């Protein structure tokens, strides 16, 4: 599993992805970790198949008992089907996820971990020295769906928004936005159902100061590519299957 | 425990539940047949005097079977839950072991030990509990065989008694027949349950 530090201050953001050993037929995912002095948040920790490589990778940065928080942007299997295993590994951790999905996510197994339901209007994840904002991104694509914004690191974790289907050895940052568009188009048109939701999200996110837009699949956007992405997404027609 | 073993465990436990609900249906049929027989015997009066206590007895047997099956159902449900937990624990152990191998050179590799030990402990507890429940369930299933066997004997007696019942002969014989059939079905289903259970390897 490749590890890339994307923010280094009093705490760190680390991106994990491009797992060379992942089974062929499952979609490649990016996992993100926020590591403070004594706590660790796993953002969209991934599917069952990813559990072992992911935990093994995190153990380079944090001991098991300092992995205190998990966040699931939505209910998809590539996001959080590993929950039942984390539940055994981290019995004292918290899972921050949509209240709307609680009864669904518990199917994965969540007996020890504390489920902290996120309300529709979002909230915060407090890691002691760091506070992260939970930004609503409903219907993009999931009906109860959240992003995470870190105003200090200026990183927006955007879940499936900004996702692209890439080869496993692709670089972690977009280096040619125009060339990247075709890898994103169908994903957004087909998985995102609502133009209205898309406009509301773009408007909201434009008001945030963002250095890195970090999606759950494909490459991250930084600098001007963040703005390019917002412009491109704003003008894209989504919900094309009907 | 291996994946295929878990699969057969899930299938076994599910098929037991299916057989048991069928046993329940049949037991209810018997109790209905008993009520029928009682009514006929009552109408037949003197001619079916010997038949009346038999119908009461059949009814008792049906009730007993229903009660036993209810208990067994509870047990089977526990067994199913244990199967789920045990499967999850085994999965956890397997994945944690994989983490240990992959993270050998990681700074905090050793911090996983507690979780791994706990998971192994819980898995072993589950396996022990599972084995205990399987043997208890086997014993309870053997108990259900008893009323079913008794019902067959009674059905044979009923036929003899029915033969004294003149114009009621046919209907009483039909009752005896249906009790006999039902008992046979219960016997077979319970037998299937037992063989499904014995497929599960609990030695591990
Ligand atoms: Fe998704
Ligand atoms: Fe996804």
The contacts of residue B101 (CB under 8 Å, 6+ apart) are none
Residues 7-66 of B with CB under 8 A from A: none
CATH number at residue B22: 1.20.1270
Average pLDDT rounded to a whole number, residues B75-90: 88
A2 reaches B (C-beta below 8 A): no
pLDDT of B204 reads 42
Going by pLDDT thresholds of 50, 70 and 90, the confidence category of residue B2 is low
- What pTM was estimated for this model as a whole? 0.86
A63 reaches B (C-beta below 8 A): yes
**End-to-end Cα spacing for chain A:** 38
Over 90: is that where the pLDDT of A78 sits?
yes
| Chain B residues with beta carbon closer than 8 angstroms to that of A56 | 98-99, 102-103, 106
Write phi, then psi, for A212 (nearest 5 degrees).
-130, 125
By DSSP bridging, strand A114-118 and strand A94-98 are: parallel
Test A52 with B98 for CB contact under 8 angstroms.
yes
Going by pLDDT thresholds of 50, 70 and 90, the confidence category of residue A19 is confident
Q: Which residue of B has its CA nearest to A59?
A: B108
**Which of A48, A53, A62 is nearest residue B108 as measured by Cβ atoms?**
A62
Range of the domain at B146: 3-203
Average pLDDT rounded to a whole number, residues A182-202: 97
pLDDT of B52 reads 78
Over 70: is that where the pLDDT of A84 sits?
yes
To probe the interface with A, which of B86, B87, B90, B92 has the most A CB atoms within 10 Å? B92
Nearest ligand (C-alpha, residue A165): 2
Going by pLDDT thresholds of 50, 70 and 90, the confidence category of residue B51 is confident
Rounded to whole angstroms, what are the CA distances from A71 to A13, A45, A58, A90, B142? 14, 8, 15, 14, 50
Least confident of A50-54, A70-74, A181-185, B171-175: B171-175
Going by pLDDT thresholds of 50, 70 and 90, the confidence category of residue B201 is low
To probe the interface with A, which of B106, B118, B119, B125 has the most A CB atoms within 10 Å? B106
Over 60: is that where the pLDDT of B202 sits?
no
Tens digits of per-residue pLDDT, B15-36? 888 888 888 888 888 888 888 8
State percent of chain B over pLDDT 70.
96
To probe the interface with B, which of A85, A91, A111, A113 has the most B CB atoms within 10 Å? A85
Residue B112 in contact with residue A59, Cβ under 8 Å?
Answer: yes
Q: In total, how many domains does chain B have?
A: 1
Cβ neighbours around B136 below 10 Å, total: 14
Q: Domain limits of chain A?
A: 2-235
Instruction: Tell me the pLDDT of chain A averaged across its residues.
Output: 96
Over 50: is that where the pLDDT of B159 sits?
yes
Over 70: is that where the pLDDT of B3 sits?
no
Residue range A2-235, CATH number: 3.60.15.10
Test B111 with A64 for CB contact under 8 angstroms.
yes
Tens digits of per-residue pLDDT, B110-127? 999 999 999 999 999 998
pLDDT of A154 reads 98
pLDDT of A168 reads 82
pLDDT of B1 reads 52
A77 reaches B (C-beta below 8 A): no
State percent of chain B over pLDDT 90.
19
B92 reaches A (C-beta below 8 A): yes
Tens digits of per-residue pLDDT, A94-150? 999 999 999 999 999 999 999 999 999 999 999 999 999 999 999 999 999 999 999
Over 90: is that where the pLDDT of B168 sits?
no
Residue in B38, B22, B32 with CA at minimum distance from that of residue B179: B32
Rounded to two decimals, the ipTM of the complex is 0.88
Test B108 with A59 for CB contact under 8 angstroms.
yes
pLDDT of B10 reads 83
Residue in A207, A227, A158 with CA at minimum distance from that of residue A187: A158
**Which of A53, A60, A64 is nearest residue B112 as measured by Cβ atoms?**
A64
Query: Cα(A141) to centroid of ligand 1, in Å?
Result: 6
Query: Cα(B158) to centroid of ligand 1, in Å?
Result: 67
């Amino acid at each position: 599993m490749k590890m890339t530090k994307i923010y280094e201050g009093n705490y760190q953001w680390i991106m994990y992805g491009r797992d060379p050993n992942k089974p062929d037929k499952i979609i490649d995912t990016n996992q993100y970790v926020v590591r403070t002095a004594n706590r660790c948040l796993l953002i969209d920790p991934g599917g069952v198949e990813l559990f072992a490589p992911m935990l093994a990778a995190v153990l380079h940065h944090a001991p098991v008992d300092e992995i205190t928080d998990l966040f699931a942007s939505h209910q998809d299997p590539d996001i959080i089907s590993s929950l039942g295993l984390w539940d055994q590994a981290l019995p004292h951790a918290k899972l921050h996820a949509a209240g709307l999905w609680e009864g669904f996510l518990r199917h994965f197994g969540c007996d020890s971990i504390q489920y902290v339901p996120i309300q529709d209007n979002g909230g915060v994840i407090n890691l002691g020295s760091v506070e992260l904002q939970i930004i609503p991104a409903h219907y993009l694509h999931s009906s109860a769906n959240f992003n995470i914004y870190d105003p200090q690191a200026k990183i927006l974790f955007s879940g499936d928004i900004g996702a692209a289907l890439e080869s496993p050895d692709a670089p972690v940052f977009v280096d040619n936005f125009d060339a990247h568009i075709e890898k994103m188009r169908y994903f957004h048109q087909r998985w995102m159902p609502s133009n209205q939701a898309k406009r509301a999200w773009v408007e909201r996110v434009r008001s945030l100061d963002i250095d890195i837009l970090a999606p759950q699949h494909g490459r991250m956007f930084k600098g001007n590519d963040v703005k390019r992405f917002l412009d491109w997404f704003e003008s894209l027609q989504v919900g094309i299957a009907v | 425990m291996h994946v295929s073993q878990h699969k057969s465990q899930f299938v076994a436990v599910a098929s037991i539940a299916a057989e048991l609900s069928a046993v329940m249906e049949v037991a209810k049929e018997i109790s209905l047949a008993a009520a029928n027989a009682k009514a006929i015997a009552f109408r037949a009066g003197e001619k079916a005097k010997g038949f009346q206590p038999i119908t009461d007895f059949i009814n008792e047997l049906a009730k007993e079977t229903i009660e036993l099956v209810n208990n067994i159902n509870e047990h089977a449900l526990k067994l199913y839950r244990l199967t789920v937990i045990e499967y999850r624990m085994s999965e956890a152990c397997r994945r944690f072991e994989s983490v240990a191998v992959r993270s050998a050179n990681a700074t905090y590799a050793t911090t996983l030990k507690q979780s791994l030990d706990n998971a192994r402990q819980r898995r072993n507890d589950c396996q022990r509990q599972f084995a205990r429940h399987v043997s208890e369930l086997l014993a309870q299933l053997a108990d259900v065989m008893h009323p079913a066997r008794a019902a067959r004997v009674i059905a044979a007696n009923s036929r003899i008694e029915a033969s004294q019942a003149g114009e009621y002969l046919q209907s009483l014989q039909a009752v005896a027949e249906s009790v006999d059939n039902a008992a046979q079905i219960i016997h077979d289903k319970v037998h299937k349950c037992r063989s499904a259970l014995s497929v599960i390897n609990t030695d591990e």
